[in-house]
Amino acid sequence: TLFGLMLGFLLFGASEQLCKTLQGKDTTLQEAITAASLTKNYYVRLHTEEEFDKFYESCVIFSEGKSGQLVLPRYRRTPARFDDGVLPHRFQCPKDYYRVEYYEACVKIKAELESRFNQSKLSPVINVEKILMGAKNGYDFSNQLEELKTSFYKTDIDCGQA
């Protein structure tokens, strides 16, 4: 439980900062994608052996004064209806077990960020945003307008009126 709480604090601290950025009233889509990319890079950096070792050592040090040492969870047999005859993997030490948990959490969060912010449908929306921002600020937005003419929004927006 202690490891899970500390891991949640480590992982969700960065995602909390991303949420605050995404919920800002002046945040543009491009800024949101950049913030998500920076957060994803943080999780990539955490997904290393050195970072796990530092995190695990901090958990061990913290747990010594509180609840004792980190231990393997109790072994549970698979119910007979799900048992296929193969013995389940048993970890040799707590560090090996928690390493798998740590990496799995990092991979899942990174994959969720990828699936939400690396969509092909975002490119035309970014172009519309750049057109609007360019028109507002007096910049040239002709490149984005040409891309918009070939996107799936071409029937929704009359590019000839721009």
pLDDT digits (tens, 9 = 90+) for 7-17: 999 999 889 99
What token pair was written down for 152? 């799936």
What is the rounded CA–CA span in Å between residue 134 and residue 123? 16
Higher-confidence residue: 108 or 142? 108
Specify the pLDDT at position 111.
92
Evaluate whether 73 touches 97 at the Cβ level (below 8 Å).
yes
CA distances from 50 to 57, 88, 95, 111, 156 (A): 11, 28, 13, 21, 51
What is the rounded CA–CA span in Å between residue 121 and residue 7? 33
Burial track 77-110 (b if 16+ CB lie within 10 A, e otherwise)? eeeeeeeeeeeeeeeeebbebbbeebeebbeebb
* pLDDT, tens digit, 9 for 90 and up, residues 47-104: 999 999 999 999 888 887 666 677 777 777 777 777 777 767 778 888 898 899 999 9
pLDDT over threshold 80, residue 1: no
Strand, coil or helix: 84: coil
* pLDDT, tens digit, 9 for 90 and up, residues 100-131: 999 999 999 999 998 888 777 777 677 777 77
Q: Which residue is it, tokens 């960020």?
A: 113
Q: Report yes or no on whether pTM surpasses 0.85.
A: no
CA distances from 20 to 25, 29, 32, 114 (A): 10, 14, 10, 18
What is the rounded CA–CA span in Å between residue 49 and residue 39? 19
Question: For helices 142-150 and 122-137, what crossing angle results, to 10°?
Answer: 150
